[in-house]
Structure 1
């Protein structure tokens, strides 16, 4: 997993990401005060439990993170108290005092669906664009799943097979990028060609073909990823 940090509100890449999100509000730093019962990566249920215990309401939006290759927004929920102050009650994997949060509370309600992160490439390396495409493909595959619990999802065999392939490709791309991979370097598959003439040429056509095949076998996904 990529190590992420909380970017500054005026970071140029945050501005570009907000343009892509098309949100109405400006980002704000929301204090992180995890509740003892809260679990990492489980913000929606954490806030729902907080509301049951202490009142207030759930407030939806996006948490903004930055790595060395991406600036991305992740669907997120924080707790809003009676004075309309926001608090992030979900613990983070990396110790931090604040979440950079942008409100997007209208027209969204969490009902178990997966919502893909919104990402932008902050490097000049086009392989990062392929990494983003593969992540987006995984989200489209998840749309065929049925959530069995907060952390587990059932996927039909056709979707599961593709998921395994693209999850492995995502990890390979990430490692390749961090090892200094560029389009002119030997491909991540260790074939004789450069990346641009090997996987760099085949990823986009394969994604299109695989998603068409999945739609043929399983039909339209019941809900958007």
Structure 2
């Protein structure tokens, strides 16, 4: 099957799924405009690491940073905290030196792509992602941010969103306007209340979750 045929088939499947969700909301008495909006929220589901750095993915990354994206495996320590990527790197640096490299994880599906801010470890030669993804993903596409953004995690935007299907462009642009950081939380508090990788492993010992690459 050619790329264009595959893209058309996937677009039809996405539209069908959206219509089904919208109809479900309508059957529950939800106003049509709200049902349509909630159905569109589906485009943020089933996000995954891009299977390859396609032209589409490359263009998106280039719009954010002049640095080159690269794949990196999740390789956390047992004490690594969920949602504390920068703190994980700083803790790792205590015994291993190196520095924090700030940037983004790239996630996508057939109709949407986003950059989620992230931080990994770098010693000038090698890289290590000492954090884990709570859904079990073990390989991510990491895009380093530009030099002037290598100050702290919050120098990066929380998320950068882009619709791959023109139909969703206005919705994604509107959704981007409400992306805000969570209320301030001290590093100590975040570290103390977040689950560790060891705890996560214990709870997910018999699960084999994770995102399936799509682009």
The within-5 A match list for 1:36-185 is 36-81=78-123, 84-108=125-149, 109-110=151-152, 115-126=157-168, 129-134=170-175, 136-139=176-179, 142=180, 146-149=183-186
In angstroms, what is the RMSD of aligned CA positions? Answer: 2.7
1:5 paired residue number: 48
TM-score, normalising length: structure 1? 0.55
SS at match of 2:177: helix
Partners of 1:9 and 1:100 within 8 A in 2: no
1:30 paired residue number: 72
1:18 paired residue number: 61
Partners of 1:71 and 1:121 within 8 A in 2: yes
Partners of 1:27 and 1:101 within 8 A in 2: yes
Which deviates more, 30-39 or 5-14? 5-14
SS at match of 2:47: coil
The structure that is helix-richer by fraction is: 2
Deviation at 1:111, TM superposition (A): 6.0
Aligned length: 145
Instruction: State how far apart, in whole Å, the 1-side matches of 2:83 and 2:110 are.
Output: 21
Partners of 1:9 and 1:27 within 8 A in 2: no
Deviation per CA, 1:84-103: give whole Å up to 9, x if none: 21111111123233221122
Deviation at 1:115, TM superposition (A): 2.1
Partners of 1:61 and 1:101 within 8 A in 2: yes
Instruction: State how far apart, in whole Å, the 1-side matches of 2:156 and 2:121 are.
Output: 20
